[in-house]
Amino acid sequence: MTGLHADEIQQAVAEVVDSGWYLQGKAVQQFEQHYAQYIGTRHCIGVANGLDALTLTLRAYKEMGLLHDGDEVLVQANTFIATILAITENHLTPVFVDVAPDTLNLQTEALRQAITPKTKALMLVHLYGRCTYNEEIEALCEAHQLLLIEDNAQAHGCLHGEQRTGSLGHAACHSFYPGKNLGALGDGGAVTTNDDDLAQMIRTLANYGFSQKYVAPMQGRNSRLDEIQAAVLDVKLHHLDTENQRRIDIARTYYTYIQQKDLRLPTFMDEGNNVYHIFPVFTPHRNALQQYLSEQGIQTLIHYPIPPHQQACYREYNQLSLPVTEQLAREELSLPLNPTMTDAEVQYVVETLNAKLAI
């Protein structure tokens, strides 16, 4: 095994293998405790993946009588499709709200206008690792008694002032997909919350709906974080802040030295409120730029080329007009950014971009 912290991870995996206990054991309990402590919530419930964390949270609110079929859930339009799938799978109605082109935050006025008597929740996605929470959103949720659910899949360790994202609303959903800032060696996810009833309901739903062994008052499912992944995550959690700091340092270098006039960078956030899961840049000539960088040996990705409301599986929303989200999807390119990059590699990206006078 190669990569960061390989020895420590191998040791943790070996301990689980030797224990002969692979599900619902000590490693999961320990990680749940450590992660709740890290995020700053009373509860952490490990589940199978990030989509399950989102889906089970909404399902639990339905079982608790706080959400009902057809209720409207506000959500930023430029998210990864999983956020929307969790809403529609629960027979709730996503209300797509456009974002501001510079901050990538929800447009507050559009958000306000989207609220109807059926609006019951706001799903706030800290996309790209940027904290999208602010006092206006907090006030809006309070005024309209909305459930505030964070999608923290891309923002482990991110701060809002002194508080971690994942502790700002009523519940927060996390993914530990290998590529995330805190990633397992396979699938994993979690919900964090201070709500005792919600935590209990999610545990029940994730365990076949059993209130006690083999007694099922509800139709649940099986969604577990396994012992090996939990042990790996517990090791990696110790290194998360250091790795995020390296991401932030690389981002600072990009913001300081990239001088490509045809590129737009989103508003710089440098107070721990961006953990740079992804470093997005925007240009109308996105495909040409990607081609150029690829020829120079620099691999880039696109997050995401088709917004959820324009997907074929969401035909009923295809006619919506969300101009900023649609433009971002046409123009976004993700520059390489991960904590294993060397200074020389970062410098090479900067120089290669700056060497291109026009895209």
Ligand X SMILES: *Cc1c(COP(=O)(O)O)cnc(C)c1O
Residues that bind ligand X (CB under 6 A): 49-51, 79-80, 82-83, 125, 151, 153-154, 175, 177, 187, 189
Write down the least CB distance from residue 175 to ligand X, Å.
3
Closest contact distance (angstroms) between CB of 20 and ligand X is: 27
Residue nearest to ligand X (CB): 50
What is the nearest approach in angstroms of ligand X to the Cβ of residue 331? 19
Q: Between 157 and 189, whose beta carbon lies closer to ligand X?
A: 189
Shortest CB 152 distance to ligand X, Å: 8
Closer to ligand X by CB, 125 or 148: give it.
125
Of 173 and 289, the one with the shorter C-beta distance to ligand X is 173
Nearest distance in Å: CB 115, ligand X: 23
Of the two residues 57 and 260, which places its CB atom closer to ligand X in the complex?
57
Q: Based on CB atoms, which residue is closest to ligand X, 189 or 266?
A: 189
Phi, psi of 160 (to 5 degrees): -125, 100
Residue 31 CA from chain centroid, whole number: 19
Q: Which residues contact 351 (CB under 8 A, 6 or more apart)?
A: none
Min CB(89)–ligand X separation in Å: 12
CA atoms within 13 A on the CB side of 288: 8
Tokens of 60: 């639990």
The CA distance from 83 to 75, in Å, is 8
CB closer to ligand X, 40 vs 186: 186
Which is nearer to ligand X, 128 or 260 (by Cβ)?
Answer: 128
Q: How far apart are CA 157 and CA 38, in angstroms?
A: 8
| SS3 sequence of the chain | CCCCCHHHHHHHHHHHHHHCCCCCCHHHHHHHHHHHHHHCCCEEEEECCHHHHHHHHHHHHHHCCCCCCCCEEEEECCCCHHHHHHHHHCCCEEEEECECCCCCCECHHHHHHHCCCCEEEEEEECHHHECCCCHHHHHHHHHCCCEEEEECCCCCCCEECCEECCCCCCEEEEECCCCCCCCCCCCCEEEEECCHHHHHHHHHHHECCCCECCECCCCCCECCCCHHHHHHHHHHHCCHHHHHHHHHHHHHHHHHHCCCCCCECCCCCCCCCECCCCEEEECCCHHHHHHHHHHCCCCCECCCCCCHHHCHHHHHHCCCCCHHHHHHHHHEEEECCCCCCCHHHHHHHHHHHHHCCCC
C-beta closer to ligand X: residue 95 or 225: 225
Q: Residue 117 Cβ, how far from ligand X at the closest point, in Å?
A: 28
Q: How far is the CB of 257 from ligand X (least distance, A)?
A: 28
Location of structure tokens 């294993």 = 340
Residue (165 or 167) nearer to ligand X, CB: 165
Compute the least distance from the CB of residue 48 to ligand X, in Å.
8
In the complex, the smallest distance separating the C-beta of residue 180 from ligand X, rounded to whole angstroms, is: 6
Which CB sits closer to ligand X, 181 or 260?
181
